[in-house]
């Protein structure tokens, strides 16, 4: 049954301990199996945060401790903006239905310009974003706000807003 995913707040720091990426979001995996949708929310209380930051590229990885789910955002920075260039997702649930296979669902979007905002500003989306990463897997993001390559005082700066759906 579909529910609204619980939003979590994630902060990745660089090697000097400074905030590099801040992201607030709720994430739900939508598995399409036997023409039926199955829903799995990423529980923020169980997420293990990892990643790395460099001058113009960064990786934010959200993973469950048992490696049953992973969601990765690859950020890139140019002279004026930052954006997500790759979104990768992996889900290894118990079989989604009786007689359904026990398998891993995964996919990615690459060479993208997602969630673009001016440098030193945040991207914020008030509606849900539904992104198809493979024929069997979609990622629904809600209450999305993110800022990369510098988050002064660990606080979001006002910036780009988007209210329409991204499907």
- Asked, for residue 2, whether it belongs to a domain, the answer is no
- Asked, for residue 1, whether it belongs to a domain, the answer is no
CB 96 within 8 A of CB 33: yes
- Asked, for residue 23, whether it belongs to a domain, the answer is yes
The total domain count for the chain is 1
pLDDT at position 160 = 67
- Asked, for residue 131, whether it belongs to a domain, the answer is yes
Residue 159 structure tokens: 């910036």
- Asked, for residue 105, whether it belongs to a domain, the answer is yes
The CATH number covering residue 73 comes to 2.40.160.110
> What does pTM read for this prediction?
0.92
The tens-digit pLDDT sequence of the chain (167 residues) is: 778 899 999 999 999 999 999 999 999 999 999 899 999 999 999 999 999 999 999 999 999 988 899 999 999 999 999 999 999 999 999 887 788 778 999 999 999 999 999 999 999 998 999 999 999 999 999 999 999 998 988 999 987 676 544 54
Q: Provide the domain limits for residue 56.
A: 8-158
Full 3-state SS string of 93-156: CCCCCCCCCCCCEEEEECCCCEEEEECCCCEEECCCEEEECCCCEEEEEEEEEEEECCCHHHCC
- Asked, for residue 135, whether it belongs to a domain, the answer is yes
- Asked, for residue 164, whether it belongs to a domain, the answer is no
Altogether, the residues listed in the chain come to a count of 167
- Report the SS3 class of residue 68: coil
- Asked, for residue 33, whether it belongs to a domain, the answer is yes
């Amino acid at each position: 049954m579909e529910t609204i995913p619980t939003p979590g707040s994630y902060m990745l720091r660089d090697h000097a301990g400074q905030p590099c990426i801040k992201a607030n979001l709720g994430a739900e995996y939508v598995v399409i199996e036997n023409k039926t949708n199955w829903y799995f929310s990423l529980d923020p209380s169980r997420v293990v945060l990892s990643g790395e930051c460099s001058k113009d590229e960064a990786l934010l990885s959200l993973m469950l401790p048992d490696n049953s789910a992973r969601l990765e955002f690859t950020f890139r920075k140019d002279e004026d903006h930052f954006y997500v260039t790759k979104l990768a997702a992996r889900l290894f649930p118990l079989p989604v239905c009786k007689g359904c296979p026990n398998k891993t669902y995964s996919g990615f979007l690459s060479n993208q310009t997602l969630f673009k905002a001016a440098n030193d500003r945040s991207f914020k989306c008030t509606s849900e974003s539904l992104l198809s990463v493979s024929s069997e897997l979609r990622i629904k993001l809600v209450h999305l706000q993110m800022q990369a390559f510098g988050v002064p005082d660990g606080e979001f700066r006002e910036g780009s807003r988007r209210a329409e759906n991204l499907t």
